[in-house]
């Protein structure tokens, strides 16, 4: 189990992740964000409990992404498969997500919603993940964004599989910071 708490003058967030079957309790006060996080939990197979409040929609969505990314980064075992790649169709939308949990943050999109494109970038930066989201087609923004969250969930499911080996020619990387 991994718990991340992020508090600022703008937002208060608590996220708990655990190995499970994709059961979630999500409460952010932002219905579409809740819907996307429930989908992410379900398709990733990660049990997620998220409580968040915020002053502005933008701050809430961004800070939940930051905290969730940090939680996924801490949750991922050093010997996970690391890579995940999925394409998800949803009505008119077709979205491809490719993911590497190897500790090198990078995001390439975009999604047709600046808030949720920013969510994906903030998530990738804080998970220290390489994340490519490619919208192959889609007219309905809701369908495109939801297909992206589902594809990310499936990619996480694949990337988090315990492999028993470190998938890197560098071996395990250790970084220590002291002040």
Q: Using the predicted structure, report yes or no on whether residue 177 has a pLDDT greater than 80.
A: no
112: helix, coil or strand? Answer: coil
The per-residue pLDDT for 169 is: 57
Strand boundaries in 20-152, DSSP class E = 24-27, 46-54, 83-90, 93-100, 106-108, 130-137
The per-residue pLDDT for 167 is: 56
Give the mean pLDDT of 81-86: 96
The per-residue pLDDT for 159 is: 97
The per-residue pLDDT for 111 is: 97
**Whole-angstrom distance, CA of residue 57 vs CA of residue 59:** 6
CA distances 129 to 67, 99, 178, Å, are: 14, 7, 24
Identify the CATH number of the domain defined by range 2-159. 3.30.230.40
**Whole-angstrom distance, CA of residue 51 vs CA of residue 66:** 14
Q: pLDDT band at residue 174, thresholds of 50, 70 and 90?
A: low
């Amino acid at each position: 189990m991994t718990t991340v708490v992020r508090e600022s003058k703008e937002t208060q967030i608590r996220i708990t992740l655990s190995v499970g079957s994709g059961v979630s309790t999500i409460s952010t006060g932002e219905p579409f964000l809740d819907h996307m996080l429930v989908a992410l939990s379900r398709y990733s197979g990660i049990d997620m409990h998220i409580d968040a409040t915020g002053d502005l929609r933008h701050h809430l969505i961004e800070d939940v992404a930051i905290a969730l990314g940090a939680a996924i980064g801490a949750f991922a075992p050093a010997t996970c498969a690391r890579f995940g790649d999925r394409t998800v169709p949803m009505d008119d939308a077709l979205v491809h997500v490719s993911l590497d949990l190897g500790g090198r943050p990078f995001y390439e999109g975009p999604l047709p919603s600046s808030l949720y494109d920013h969510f994906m970038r903030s998530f990738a930066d804080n998970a220290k993940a390489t994340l490519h989201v490619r919208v192959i087609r889609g007219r309905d923004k809701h369908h495109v964004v939801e297909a992206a969250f589902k594809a990310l969930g499936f990619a996480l499911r694949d990337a988090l599989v315990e492999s028993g080996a470190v998938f890197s020619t560098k071996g395990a990387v250790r970084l220590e910071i002291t002040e």
